[in-house]
Chains A and B, each alone.
Chain A
Amino acid sequence: GAVVSQHPSWVICKSGTSVKIECRSLDFQATTMFWYRQFPKQSLMLMATSNEGSKATYEQGVEKDKFLINHASLTLSTLTVTSAHPEDSSFYICSARRDRGRNEQFFGPGTRLTVL
C-alpha cells in the first residue's frame, strides 16, 4: 500500500510552453500533497503544500503564478509549470500524506523536466 505515482516521468519542452505534471495516490486518499524540486546534487526543496479543495500554500521565493497547483480530488494533485524557461529544468517530486494526525509522507518517483 501507499503508492504514489507521477506522470510523466520525464518531459522535454520548448521555452515558453506550459507543462503539467500529475501526482496520484493510487491506494489511499491523500489529505495533503507536497511538491518538491531537486537540482542536481542538491537537497529536495519544498515548493508548496497542496490541500484538497483549497488553495496551495507556497514556500517563500516560489512564484505561485509560475507554478500552478491544483488539488481537485483526494487522489490527484497537478503542478503546471507555466511559460517554462531553461532555469525551470529540474527534477520535480511530489509526496502525499495519508492519514490525518500522522506525519507520514509517501513520495512519487519524480518527473525530470528539461526546458530547451
Chain B
Amino acid sequence: DQQVKQNSPSLSVQEGRISILNCDYTNSMFDYFLWYKKYPAEGPTFLISISSIKDKNEDGRFTVFLNKSAKHLSLHIVPSQPGDSAVYFCAASAGSGTYKYIFGTGTRLKVLA
C-alpha cells in the first residue's frame, strides 16, 4: 500500500515558468513533510520541508503548500531553471518516535531551455 503517491511520473516545463509538483498521502498520522531532489546514482538532496501546523513554507524559489484536509502537498518552483531538472521525491513522517520517512514514487522534472 503506497502511503505517499506522486501521480505524475514526469513533468516538462519551459525555463522561467512555474513548476508544480504534487504529492498525495493517505496516512493522517503524517505530520512532517519534505521534498528531496535526486540525480541518478546519487543520494537525495533536501530541498524544503513543512510541518503540519503550517500550510505554506517558502525558501527562495521553492515553496511548499500543504492542504491537510485534502491530504495533499505541492512544491512550486519559480522560476524554473534547467539545473532544476531531476527527480523530485516527496516524503512524509509521522514525527516523534521513529522519525521514519516514507517516500513517494517520484516525479521527473525536465526544464527546457
Is A43's CB under 8 angstroms from B44's CB? no
Question: With A42-B105, A43-B106, A103-B95 given, is the CB distance from A49 to B100 under 8 Å?
Answer: yes
Chain A residues within 8 Å of B41, by CB: 91, 110, 112
Chain B residues whose CB sits within 8 angstroms of the CB of A6 once the complex forms:
43
Cβ contacts A43-72/B at 8 Å (1 or 0 each): 111100100000001000000000000000
Q: Closest residue to A105 on the B side, CB-wise? A: B101
Q: In the bound complex, what is the Cα–Cα distance between A4 and B42 (angstroms)?
A: 12
- A28 in the interface (beta carbon within 8 A): no
Once A and B bind, how many residue pairs between them come within 8 Å at the CB atom?
Answer: 54
Q: For A4, list chain B residues within 8 Å (CB).
A: 43
Interface size on B, residues (CB 8 A): 22
- CA–CA, A46 to B89, complex, Å? 14
Q: Which residues of chain A from 29 to 48 have a CB within 8 Å of any chain B CB?
A: 32, 34, 36, 41-46
Q: A42-B105, A43-B89, A103-B99 are in contact. List 14 more A-B contacts (CB 8 A).
A: A6-B43, A41-B106, A43-B104, A44-B44, A46-B101, A93-B44, A103-B32, A103-B93, A103-B95, A104-B46, A105-B101, A107-B43, A109-B43, A110-B41
B residues sitting closer than 8 Å to A (CB atoms) are 32, 36, 41-46, 49, 89, 93, 95-96, 98-106
